Each structure stands twice: as C-alpha cells, then as structure tokens.
Structure 1
C-alpha cells in the first residue's frame, strides 16, 4: 500500500498518469463554469448539486496522488462516485428531466459497478491455459 508521502504514480510513467499541476488546476474554472451554466439552465438547486459534485472533483484533481491512491484502495466507491458526475453531465447537456437524468446515471453506475466487480473477481492470467472462460 502506498503512503501519502509517496507519489501514486512513479516519475517514469506516461504524461496522463500524472498530469502537471497547471492541467489539474483547470478543474477549478471548469467546476465554476459548470456550476454557473447549471444555474442559468436548471436553477439554484441543480447549481448547488453541480458545485458540490464538480467542486469535489476539482479538489481531487489538485490532490492527484491522494486521489489516485484512494481510488485504488476503494474501487467500488470510486465507481459509485461516477454516478453524480454522470447525473450532472446529463442534466447539463440534455433537456431531460432531473428524474430521467438520475435514473439513467443510476443505471450506468450499476452497470459500471457490476463490471468492476467482475474485473476484480477474474483470476489473474498466469500465461498458461486459455485466456478466457471459453
């Protein structure tokens, strides 16, 4: 298990495994823009939800190493956190009602959680034998 003083991604890894701080800091203005856009399009209550969801995501991007470590230590919670992000995204880019956006986001989140569970249960490939169950 990695500690908070150790980087989650070694220095020799590709660019996207540890983006530079200036790129991660772009999450803050994006969170503000999404919140303001949501206020204009959907009202105050949806803007508050968008601010909480995307604000937390922006803070997570700034604390990248801890964000990555937490995601590795809590894979199911990491997948479940995609639900609110999907909900806000659907509400922002579609004219669907909040109930339909919530149901759609919940369905996709359940699907992602099942796929993540199946991925974690799959035995590791040892190099001997078939590559799959068939």
Structure 2
C-alpha cells in the first residue's frame, strides 16, 4: 500500500459546487468532493491535503510550497485552466506528477474551454466524469508513483 502525500487543489468558483450550474457540475458540493477524496485516499493508503481558493496568488503559493512536501498534485484549475500561464509555470516547480481534473467535459463546451494551459504538463487529464474524476485521479496517482 502507498503512503504518498497528495495535494488536492480546486480553483475559482469550485467552492460553489452544488449551487453553480448543477445541470453542468452536478449536485455534489466541494465538501462532498473532499469527502470522496478522503475515502479514496484512505482506501489507497494516500494522505490528501485538500484546498480551494478563488485567489490565483494563493494557489501559486501553495504550489510553490508543495516542492518536497507532496508526491503528486491533483488539480481542478477551474477557469484558470484556460487563462493562466502563471499556473502552468508554477505546476512544474514541485517536480511531481500533476493530474488535471474537470468535472464537466470541457471539450464539449464553449470553444474557449478547449484550450488548457495545464494539460501540456499534466501526467493525466480526467474530464467529464463528474466528481468521480477525483477518485480516478487518486487511483492514477498510485499507479504513477508505485508503478501498479
């Protein structure tokens, strides 16, 4: 069993899950997502630290501090996916696998959502699986780190 440390990051507006556009993002809240991540992590022997912010600078600081502290990052960058070169640049600093998660299928949505600054440096991209994508991401982390 793994003992890896995973930083789970959620970007802007994800604190409004369950309220904002439930027809797109579903009824689960961010607390539900974090509980799912903790249950999955427990099953897999991972330690997960979950954080959410609407402030890009705070997100960047968390990513910088992850170097040497975490073995992988699972991130739903929200709207920063399509706008933030700074986020992309920060995600290479910890030198750990990054898994990009999107609740909706961004490729089937508005044209501007088809470009991700994160995907090019991500070890995996999971989109369109609802909140279950977070579970898939944690399972992928174990596979990447333990070679299972």
Q: Which band: TM-score by shorter chain?
A: 0.3 to 0.5
State the TM-score, normalizing by the size of structure 2: 0.30
Query: Which structure dedicates a bigger proportion of its chain to helix?
Result: 1
Query: Which structure dedicates a bigger proportion of its chain to strand?
Result: 2
State the TM-score, normalizing by the size of structure 1: 0.32
